[in-house]
Amino acid sequence: MDVFKLFSRENSSSKNVAKERLRLVLVHDRTNCSPHFLEMIKGDLLNVISDYIEIDEDGLDIKISKTKRSIDDAMVPALIANIPIKKMKAK
């Protein structure tokens, strides 16, 4: 094992991933949203949207974050959905 690799910047990407995961865990805790509940929301969204469009489920990313409310700049929870669309379905 290379001791110098422990202190190098090569692991900065995994550090950033860990920070992001911790941030998401904290947001989920503060909004009282369990991972199971978030998966239920994800499934419901997929069911509704898939009636109208074909979705790339591999690229799907749904999470709860915080955003500023435009009225008073208060930080509030927000559901963020990145849903890659393959094609629109015919009516």
Above pLDDT 90, what percent of the chain? 8
For the chain, report the end-to-end CA distance as a whole number of angstroms.
59
Q: What pLDDT is attached to residue 19?
A: 74
Mean pLDDT, all residues of the chain: 76
Q: Decide if pLDDT at 8 tops 60.
A: no
Q: CA 62 from chain center: how many Å?
A: 4
Q: What single-letter amino acid sits at 8?
A: S
Question: What's the CA gap between 27 and 79, in Å, rounded?
Answer: 11
Higher pLDDT, 73 or 2: 73
* pTM over cut 0.75: no
The model's pLDDT over 40-65, given as tens digits with 9 standing for 90+, comes to 888 888 888 888 899 888 888 888 77
Q: CA 34 from chain center: how many Å?
A: 13
53 DSSP β-pair partners: 88
